[in-house]
Every structure is written in structure tokens, then in C-alpha cells.
Amino acid sequence: MLMNNTIEATLLEIARKEGIELNAQERLLIRTRVATSLAARDRHRQRMSAPAFQWKKPDSPPR
């Protein structure tokens, strides 16, 4: 599994090789987008591996 730092460094290196100078705002945007996409991937993986929900009728309250 790729880590945030590896993906960010790769994107920055590609931009540098293409001659694109990234300012601080653009680097922040890259970091944020990478972090959110990896978090979404982790949430999706967690949802897919969770057991199916089975609703149970609640017990009647004690009187």
C-alpha cells in the first residue's frame, strides 16, 4: 500500500520534471487531495469488509 509521502513526492517530482513550479498553495492542495483520497479508500475498504447488518427487534422496556 502506498503511503501519503510517497504519492506526494512522486507528484511533485513529475511536476518538477515537466518544468512546473508549484507554490505553497498548490503543494498544500496536493497533500490535501492525496490524504482525502486515501482516507476514502480506507473507509471504503472498511465498509466492504464489515459484516452485513441484521436488524433485531428491540426488547420491550421493563415496567
Domain boundaries, the chain: 4-46
For the stretch 35-61, pLDDT in tens is: 999 999 999 999 999 999 999 998 888
Average pLDDT estimate for 11-39: 95
Q: Is residue 1 classed as helix, strand or coil in its secondary structure?
A: coil
Predicted confidence band of residue 1 (pLDDT cuts 50, 70, 90): low
Does 15 score more than 80 pLDDT? yes
User: Amino acid letter at 24?
Assistant: A
CB 30 within 8 A of CB 13: no
Does 32 score more than 90 pLDDT? yes
Which pTM value belongs to this model?
0.72
Give pLDDT, residue 59: 87
